[in-house]
Each structure stands twice: as structure tokens, then as C-alpha cells.
Amino acid sequence: MTSAIANQARTIRVPTYTIEFMMTVFKSAEAIRQNIGSEPTIGQISECMKIPVERVEEAFRAYQSPISLDIITGETDDTTIADHVPGTDSTEDMVEKIYLGYEVGNKLLNDLAPRERRIIELRYGLSDGEVHTLANIGAELGISKERVRQIEVEILMKMRSAANKEWFADYLE
């Protein structure tokens, strides 16, 4: 009977021995509740059963039912629990995306002249993580901010060129 309940009653299957252990913990908790007249603490249950507190906590965790990620959390908006979960990509996918971005970025930047590369690195924060203004870049390179803007436009056009598109398409295959 216990096996059937363990296999059929829950969304996530819990082993029979865990179900039996949970039932023992709950019976002990009920006995303590009747003796002291209030809800027992985990420490009291642990002491009564002569088992570590961690095992009692484990039984209570296993008893909790899973909840749907589609439950709406806000009263005024349609925010769900799934909206608060950090990420859905696997670690392998994320590493692959980062590596691909790094490879593509290096290929595109390596095709640039040193001054062009420096402008792009500073403008988009590729070297130090800080995005610099046209004026800051111009001051560092000894040219006007308008000239930096013009060079940036030329670089971006160069990076979008047919040759780079061909290489990028070949790389993805």
C-alpha cells in the first residue's frame, strides 16, 4: 500500500523509504503536539526520535509539494514565478555563446588597424568594461570627437562588410 502511494500520489516520485520516514516523523510530531499542547519544534521532534535535526528537516523538505512556475506573483501585473528564475540556458549553452562571441569579436577586431581597434575597444568598453565618450576617446588619441565618430562609422561599415558576413556564415557552419 505504501509503495502505491509513494509511486502515484506525488508529481515528483519520492522513494518508499523516504515516505515511511516522513510518516514516522509526522506521527512523532503529532504525539509531541498532544503531550505539550502546541506545535513542536524540529529540535523537540529530533530529540524525541533520537535522530539528528538535519534528518527531521530533510523529512519536512521532502514533504513539500512542487509549485507551478506559472503562478502569478503580483496582484496588479501578470508577473509569474518563472519571470524571477535567473536563467534557462544550460551551462554548456552559455559557455558556447560566450566562446562564440569571443571568437567572432577577436576575428572582427583583428582585421582592424591598431587605432581603429582601440577606438572600438574604448567606445564599447571591450578593454576595461567601461564605455567611453567620443570626447574621451578623442582626447586620448589626440583627435576631435567628430573625427572619432567618423572613424567609428567607417569601422562599423567595415565590420559589416560582405567579406566578414561570408566568414561569419562559414564559421557558423
* Confidence category of residue 20, pLDDT binned at 50, 70, 90: confident
| pLDDT tens-digit series, residues 109-146 | 777 888 998 898 888 887 777 889 999 999 999 999 99
| Domain spans of the chain, in order of start | 2-63, 91-172
Domains 2-63 and 91-172 share a fold: yes
Q: How far apart are CA 120 and CA 148, in angstroms?
A: 10
CATH number of 2-63: 1.10.10
The better pLDDT of the pair 72, 170 is held by: 72
The secondary structure of residue 96, as a DSSP letter, is H
Residue 123 cell numbers, joined: 567606445
CA dihedral over 131, 135, 139, 144, signed as positive or negative:
positive
CATH number of 91-172: 1.10.10.10
Q: How far apart are CA 38 and CA 31, in angstroms?
A: 11
Query: Helix, strand or coil for residue 74?
Result: coil
How far apart, in Å, do the first and last CA atoms of the chain sit?
A: 56
| pLDDT tens-digit series, residues 27-79 | 999 999 999 988 999 999 999 999 999 999 988 887 776 777 777 776 667 77
pTM of the full structure:
0.41
Query: Helix, strand or coil for residue 60?
Result: helix
